[in-house]
Amino acid sequence: MNVLVIGNGGREHALIWKIYQSEKVDKIYVAPGNDGMTDLAERIDIAAADIYTLADWAKEHKIDLTVVGPEKPLVKGIVNEFEKRGLKIFGPNKLAARVEGSKVFAKNILKKHRIPTAEFEVFTEPELAMEFLKEAEYPLVIKAEGLAFGKGVVIATNIGQAEEAITRIMEDKVFGDAGSRIVIENFLEGEEISVMVFTDGKNFVPLEFAQDHKAVFDGDEGPNTGGMGSYSPLPYIDEKSDKEIKNKILKPAIEAFNEEGLNYKGILYINMIMTEMGPEVLDFNARFGDPETQVILPRMENDIIDVFEKTIDERLSEITINWDSRAAVCVILTSAGYPLTFDTGKEIKGLDKINRIDNLLVFHAGTTKIGDKYYTAGGRVLGLTVLGESLDDAANQAYKYIEEIYFEDMHFRTDIGYSNRGSINY
What does the pLDDT look like over 87-135, one tens digit per residue? 999 999 999 999 999 999 999 999 999 999 999 999 999 999 999 999 9
Give the Cα separation of 189 and 186 in Å (integer): 10
pLDDT at 152: 87
Q: What is the DSSP letter of 248?
A: I
**pLDDT of 314:** 97
Q: What's the CA gap between 422 and 426, in Å, rounded?
A: 12
Q: Hey, is 400 helix, strand or coil?
A: helix
The pLDDT, as a whole number, for residue 148 is 85
What is the pLDDT, as a whole number, of residue 419? 54
CA 329 to chain centre: 15
At 190-215, the pLDDT tens digits run 988 999 999 999 999 999 999 999 99
Q: For residue 348, give the 3-state DSSP assignment.
A: strand
DSSP letters of 79-93? HHHHHHTT--EES--
Q: What is the pLDDT of residue 355?
A: 85
Beta-sheet strands, E only, within 21-174? 27-32, 42-43, 65-68, 89-90, 120-123, 140-144, 153-156
User: Using 50, 70 and 90 to split pLDDT, how confident is the model at 224?
Assistant: confident
Task: Report the SS3 class of residue 337.
Answer: coil
Q: How confident is the model at residue 157 (pLDDT cuts 50, 70, 90)?
A: very high
Domains of the chain: 2-91 (3.40.50.20), 119-186 (3.30.1490.20), 191-318 (3.30.470.20), 327-411 (3.90.600.10)
If one counts every other C-beta atom within 10 angstroms of the C-beta of residue 370, the result is 10
C-alpha–C-alpha distance, residues 25 and 16, integer Å: 11
Identify the pLDDT of residue 228.
97
Q: What is the mean pLDDT of the chain?
A: 95
> Is the model's pLDDT at 426 over the cut of 70?
no
Percent of the chain with pLDDT over 70: 98
Q: Region 323-335: what's the mean pLDDT? A: 98
What local confidence, expressed as pLDDT, does residue 422 receive?
A: 45
Q: Report the distance separating Cα 289 and Cα 377, nearest Å.
A: 21
Q: Report d(CA 352, CA 350) in Å as an integer.
A: 5
Distance, first Cα to last Cα, the chain: 43
Above 70 in pLDDT, residue 424?
A: no
**Cβ-Cβ contacts under 8 Å for 321 (sequence gap 6 or more):** 205, 207, 300, 301, 302, 307
> pLDDT tens digits, residue range 388-409?
999 999 999 999 999 999 999 9
Query: Does residue 376 register a pLDDT over 90?
Result: yes
Q: Tell me: pLDDT of 149 over 90.
A: no
Which of 86-95, 114-123, 218-227, 247-256 is the least confident region? 218-227
pLDDT at 356: 85
Q: Is the pLDDT of residue 425 over 70?
A: no
CB atoms within 10 A of CB 2: 15
